[in-house]
Amino acid sequence: AATTDLAGTHVVVSAGGTREPLDPVRFLGNRSSGKQGYALARTAAARGARVTLLSANAELPDPAGVDVVHVGTAVQLREAVVKAAADADAVVMAAAVADFRPAVYAPGKIKKQGDSGAPTVELVRNPDILAEISAERARPGQIVVGFAAETDDVLANGRAKLARKGCDLLVVNEVGERKTFGSEENEAVILGSDGAETPVPYGPKEALADRIWDEVVRRVTPAHAD
């Protein structure tokens, strides 16, 4: 049965992976396909939310009925998140954000140096968007959700990351061969800052998205509610 349990809410979802340019033709990037974030946007819209999808380099069609903002870099994503989160009831950071970016952008293509020389690329830290929006909530009661990919000690590492980031929910994926990157399916545990621990079995990214919204609905107080 159709549910409209997110009606009256504005939710913000980031998806994809940031690209940090080195020069006009090269970037540092990652393998995030954006599929989990897009599934979150589609399912939230289906449940009645107004959805803003902040898409970082995902090669996927804009979902119907969703406001899509396309961004490239972590700095651009941060600006878009802060702007969209101002009146949001929930913010879900599904995007893979580059932790570092090249310290300088070369306005011309970086050339080979002699026969064997190679340039050194200096990196600087990117802002941690999830930690920042968790620490400075745009409005009281806003629910902030993060993602984490872990290879070992999934629950212990997830709990530590949840505390470190200061978010309300952390969706922890165990990174494995057939899981997560580019695949249609996912398996995860949703950890809550209230101690909740919700395992979600291997299945479609849409199903995980719906379980995440279930956890959000349980905690959210719509801004317009009296």
Residues that constitute the known binding site for CTP: 99, 109, 127-130, 147, 161, 165
Eight-state DSSP code of residue 119 = P
User: Is 173 noted as a catalytic residue in this protein?
Assistant: no
Taking CB atoms within 8 Å and a gap of at least 24, the contacts of 186-193 are 186/36, 189/154, 189/155, 189/158, 190/215, 191/155, 191/158, 191/159, 191/162, 192/168, 192/219, 193/162, 193/163, 193/167, 193/168, 193/169
The correct pick among 45, 71, 74, 220 for binding ligand C5P (CB under 6 A) is 74
CB-wise, 8 or 70, nearer to ligand C5P? 70
CB-wise, 119 or 176, nearer to ligand C5P? 176
Q: How far is CA 136 from the centre of its chain?
A: 17
How far is it, in rounded angstroms, from Cα 136 to Cα 115?
51
The correct pick among 12, 93, 200, 209 for binding ligand C5P (CB under 6 A) is 93
- Establish if 97 lies at the interface with ligand C5P (CB under 6 A): yes
Q: Cα dist. 174→10, 12, 75, 189 in Å?
A: 29, 24, 27, 9
The correct pick among 16, 37, 146, 158 for binding ligand C5P (CB under 6 A) is 146
Report the candidate in 214, 211, 222, 198 with the shortest Cα–Cα distance to residue 142.
Answer: 222
In the complex, minimum distance from the CB of residue 139 to ligand C5P, in angstroms, rounded to a whole number: 19
The correct pick among 126, 134, 173, 180 for binding ligand C5P (CB under 6 A) is 126
In the complex, minimum distance from the CB of residue 87 to ligand C5P, in angstroms, rounded to a whole number: 19
Cα maximum dimension of the chain: 70
* Footprint of ligand C5P on 190-219 (CB under 6 A): none
Q: Looking at 33-41, 127-135, 173-181, 192-200, which segment touches ligand C5P (CB under 6 A)?
A: 127-135
Q: How far is CA 217 from the centre of its chain?
A: 18
Annotated binding site: 99, 109, 127-130, 147, 161, 165
CB-wise, 135 or 225, nearer to ligand C5P? 135
- Establish if 129 lies at the interface with ligand C5P (CB under 6 A): yes
In the complex, minimum distance from the CB of residue 78 to ligand C5P, in angstroms, rounded to a whole number: 8
User: Using CB under 6 A as the criterion, which residues of the chain lie in contact with ligand C5P when the complex forms?
Assistant: 74, 93, 95, 97, 99, 126, 128-130, 146-148
Give catalytic residues, as residue numbers: 30
